[in-house]
């Protein structure tokens, strides 16, 4: 089976409404792209929890609708334009979408990822390049965290550089569970992971079983009623790879989870946000930049220390 994509370039104010109307008119799926992608006019569109963009569109947007190959694309566009009261149907182009083995095509896009000195994140359909490495079998899924994003890599590299055999670890905002699993495979003792998303908890639990990692997973309200050492206890290492706004809001809580002498590692922070995030934690723990990758940083500090730990040397 094959399909036809309808490509329409349109102003921001009409992009979202046109997308909905195209679906009502018979499109199988619709996406919105930056029509200036790849040019000097390309603009990023992103947000943080509580600060999401008001519209999922760009000033100069490209709406791409997938249709059956034998559908009347002109009629679909005309019906959608009329539904949102445009003066006339916008011009469009079409392009063929050939049938593919989508599973094999998708899998081909995900190769093993080498992180730090000895960590490999390996999809289940690949052999581990280094069987003697720290291997995490992890398939791309619904939860964030495959090791491809700089913030995840920074946290993984920190955990590898600071092994804590037998120590307790809390991964707050665990996503796929990848950071908790790295800590466990590095020899940590009692490890717990927390996320607000039930799907993430389910994914993390499945990943931990696949990787033979004994980890306890919680939604935030479950943590409050967990076993005492998790409900009210402090951890030797607390790692949180989230985003700067929630990290600042959670400063008292996260810092309060760090045991005396324990380490706090934060990522999901842009380099330009490092000072303001560190300032939010300053009443509780002194944080400094450990490392930076592609404009993202990892912050770290030790509870009870007045000295900010040094950044990773460029030789590492």
Q: Which residues define the annotated binding site?
A: 152, 173, 195, 241
State the burial class of residue 122 (Cβ atoms within 10 Å of its Cβ: 0-12, 13-18, 19+).
Answer: buried
* The token pair that represents 311 in the structure block: 């950044």
* Binding-site positions for S-adenosyl-L-methionine: 152, 173, 195, 241
Which residue's structure tokens are 């569970």? Answer: 177
Counting every residue written for the chain, the total comes to: 316
Q: First CA to last CA across the chain, in angstroms?
A: 50
| Helix or strand (DSSP H, E) at 96 | strand 93-97
Burial classification of residue 88, based on how many CB atoms lie within 10 Å of its CB (0-12 exposed, 13-18 middle, 19 or more buried): exposed
Q: What residues pair up with 121 in beta bridges, in sequence order?
A: 113, 136
3-state secondary structure of 296: strand
* Sheet architecture: strand order including 60-68: 29-34, 60-68, 3-11, 93-97
What the block records as the tokens of 131 is: 């069987």
DSSP assigned state of 155: H
Nearest to 286 by CA among 271, 298, 300: 300
């Amino acid at each position: 089976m094959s399909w036809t994509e309808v490509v329409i370039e349109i102003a921001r104010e009409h992009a979202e409404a046109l997308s909905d109307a195209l679906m009502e008119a018979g499109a199988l799926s619709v996406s919105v792209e930056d029509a200036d992608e790849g040019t000097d006019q390309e603009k990023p569109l992103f947000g943080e929890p509580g600060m999401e963009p008001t519209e999922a569109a760009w000033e100069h947007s490209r709406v791409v609708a997938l249709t059956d190959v034998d559908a009347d694309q002109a009629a679909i566009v005309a019906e959608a334009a009329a539904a949102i009261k445009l003066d006339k149907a916008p011009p469009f182009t079409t392009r063929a979408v050939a049938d593919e083995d989508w599973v094999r095509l998708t899998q081909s896009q995900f190769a093993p990822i080498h992180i730090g000195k000895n960590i490999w994140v390996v999809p289940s359909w690949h052999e581990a390049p280094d069987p003697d490495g720290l291997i995490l079998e992890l398939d791309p899924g619904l939860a964030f965290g495959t090791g491809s994003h700089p913030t995840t890599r920074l946290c993984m590299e920190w955990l590898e550089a600071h092994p804590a055999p037998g120590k307790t670890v809390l991964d707050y905002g665990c996503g796929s569970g990848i950071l908790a699993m790295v800590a466990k495979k590095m020899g940590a003792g009692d490890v717990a992971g927390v996320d607000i998303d039930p799907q993430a908890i389910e994914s993390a639990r499945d990943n931990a079983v696949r990787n033979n990692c004994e980890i306890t997973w919680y939604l935030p309200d479950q943590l409050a009623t967990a076993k005492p050492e998790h409900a009210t206890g402090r951890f030797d290492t607390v790692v949180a790879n989230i985003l700067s706004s929630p990290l600042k809001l959670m400063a008292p809580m996260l810092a309060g989870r760090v045991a005396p002498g324990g380490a706090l590692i934060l990522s999901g922070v842009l380099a330009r946000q490092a000072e303001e995030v560190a300032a939010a934690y300053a009443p509780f723990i002194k944080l400094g930049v450990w490392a930076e990758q592609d404009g993202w940083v990892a912050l770290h500090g030790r509870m009870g220390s007045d000295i900010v730990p040094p950044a990773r040397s460029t030789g590492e």
